[in-house]
Amino acid sequence: MSQVRNPVDVLIRRLDPEVPIPAYGHPGDAGADLVTTEAAELAPGERTVLPTGVSVALPDGYAAFVHPRSGLAARCGVALVNAPGTVDAGYRGEIKVIVVNLDPRESVRFERFDRIAQLVVQQVEKVRFHEVAELPGSARAEGGFGSTGGHAAVDGSTGGNGYASVGADREGQ
Ligand SMILES: O=c1ccn([C@H]2C[C@H](O)[C@@H](COP(=O)(O)OP(=O)(O)OP(=O)(O)O)O2)c(=O)[nH]1
Ligand SMILES: [Mg+2]
């Protein structure tokens, strides 16, 4: 039997009287859509900070993450410069979205109340750092950045054919 957890209550303030409260598109969605309250047009490569017209008070132990929308990314090349943006529990200012137009040719235009990003609220751990001279061993040790193979080297080497390739990462290779 599937278990449905109770939603977490989050206080929200509208900074624009007409702005819609962030809403989940479907019951199982992780992100509630955020809109821009200002129209904007971005030339190829241009970025801007868009206001969402809302501020929130997250419960202690939670954070909200401003994620891109895949449709905007796929259709228009719109990305979030700092994806995912982090909204701290103590932040009471307006949530803003730092968008960039990565399309090399087309401008992109946002109208007021277009959905531009989605807000994912999550519980986050607070840690205490304990300084040590040596860390405990692990199977991965210091390997990273393609150490398991398949990627072009991060130093810019392309394996001799002039093209960076991720082909060897496909299954069965
Ligand atoms: O996409 C984002 C990212 C951040 N914020 C807000 C909420 C967050 O709590 C605050 C600070 O964000 P962050 O810590 O990422 O920025 P910073 O450059 O480290 O600023 P600060 O020195 O204020 O922490 O800005 C947004 O509204 N949208
Ligand atoms: Mg910070």
Domains along the chain? 11-123 (2.70.40.10)
Give the per-residue pLDDT at 115. Answer: 98
Which two structure tokens, joined as six digits, stand for 145?
């950045």
Query: Which one, of 82, 88, 48, 49, lies nearest residue 67 by Cα?
Result: 82
Check residue 151 and give its pLDDT: 59
pLDDT (tens digit per residue) in 7-29: 999 999 999 999 999 999 999 99
Q: Tell me the three state secondary structure of residue 71.
A: helix
Q: How confident is the model at residue 158 (pLDDT cuts 50, 70, 90)?
A: very low
Mean pLDDT of 82-101: 98
Question: Which of 86, 92, 99 best tests ligand 1's pocket when mutated (most atoms within 8 Å of CB)?
Answer: 86
Cα dihedral 69, 75, 80, 81 in deg (nearest 10): 160
Average pLDDT rounded to a whole number, residues 54-58: 98
As given in the structure block, the two tokens for residue 117 are 């990003």
- Higher-confidence residue of 164 and 136: namely 136
42 in contact with ligand 1, CB cutoff 6 A: no
Q: Residue 50 Cα, ligand 2 centroid: separation in angstroms?
A: 18
**Which residue from 115, 134, 131 is spatially nearest to 54, judged by alpha carbons?**
115
Tokens of 133: 């001279």
Q: What average pLDDT does this structure show over 84-105?
A: 98
d(Cα 85, Cα 3) in Å, to the nearest integer? 29
Top mutation candidate among 48, 87, 124 for ligand 1, by most atoms within 8 Å of CB: 87
* Residues 6 or more apart whose Cβ sits within 8 Å of residue 110: 36, 38, 39, 40, 41, 42, 50, 99, 116
Q: Does pLDDT of 2 surpass 70?
A: no
Q: How many angstroms separate the alpha carbon of residue 96 from the centre of ligand 1?
A: 9
Q: Is 88 annotated as a binding residue?
A: yes
pLDDT of residue 4: 76
Tokens encoding 87: 């909204």
CB-based contacts of 77: which residues, under 8 Å, 6+ apart?
101, 102, 103, 104, 106, 108
Q: Does the structure show a pLDDT above 80 at 166? A: no
Task: Give the rounded percent of residues in the chain with a pLDDT score beyond 70.
Answer: 86
| pLDDT at site 163 | 42
Measured from the Cα of 84, ligand 1's closest atom is: 1
User: Is residue 91 lining ligand 1, measured as CB closer than 6 Å?
Assistant: yes
ipTM of the complex as predicted = 0.99
Is the C-beta atom of 62 inside 6 A of ligand 1? Answer: no
Beta bridge partners of 110: 40
Give the Å distance between the CA of 140 and the centre of ligand 2.
Answer: 30
Is the pLDDT assigned to residue 64 strictly greater than 80?
yes
